[in-house]
Amino acid sequence: QNGVMSGLMQMLLLKVSAHITEQLGMAPGGEFREAFKEASKVPFCKFHLGDRPIPVTFKRAIAALSFWQKVKLAWGLCFLSDPISKDDVEKCKQKDLLEQMMAEMIGEFPDLHRTIVSERDIYLTYMLKQAAKQIELPRASENEPRKYVPAVVVGVVGMGHVPGIEKNWNSDLKIQEIMSVPPPSASSKIFKFVLKATVFGLLGYGCYRIGHRTVQFVLSMPATQSYLQRLTEVPQQ
């Protein structure tokens, strides 16, 4: 539904998620589930999913990478098997180490960092600012002056997004550009065609081999040979 490359990338990231779950005994995103549980305990509290839709992020990320960067990233995700401990997770909460990891990601995949981190920093900031707008109190009549009360907002985000949100908070943000999905590149179209041709070719060859063996097996059966012999004898009679 989301395209071949985007779908394959989602499958690889699900593999990474399963690896983390197996190593730590807990699924990623637990902080968001806890936020949902806590919100349900607060009267009149509204819970908003404020991140950019996953299909948009994936398609923009895939479009930003060159063919070889896609291959390199997919290779790394396919063979990700490094052990992860809870101590490693605690170390990642340290600001210096987190900034170092983000810098390494920028150095290796700058376009991927832009689409997955920097653009989502802008989107998350925009959504938080929308949620933090003052709330207008109901008025008894149109002549009554407008009264506002400040909104109370609790934002739960990944640590890697906090510096970007702080940086963008006082900016005039526009999200139309980062919500658009660029058309597929020529390399993506070629890869999609080759992948489809390979799949259908293998499927057709498999059907041919199965059909050929099935026919041979049926013809070698005594009952079939006897029936065929009778058919050849009928014209002679």
pLDDT, tens digit (0-9, with 9 covering 90-100), for 198-227: 888 888 888 888 887 887 777 777 777 777
The predicted model scores a pTM of 0.68
AA identity, residue 65: L
* pLDDT, tens only, 92-118: 777 666 666 666 666 778 888 888 889
Rounded CA separation 205/163 (Å): 54
AA identity, residue 188: S
Tokens of 55: 């299909």
Residue showing tokens 């063979």? 79
- pLDDT for the residue 35: 92
Phi, psi (deg, nearest 5) at residue 136: -80, 130
Tokens of 10: 């989602």
Rounded CA separation 179/87 (Å): 37
* pLDDT, tens only, 26-74: 777 888 899 999 999 999 898 999 999 988 888 888 888 777 777 777 7
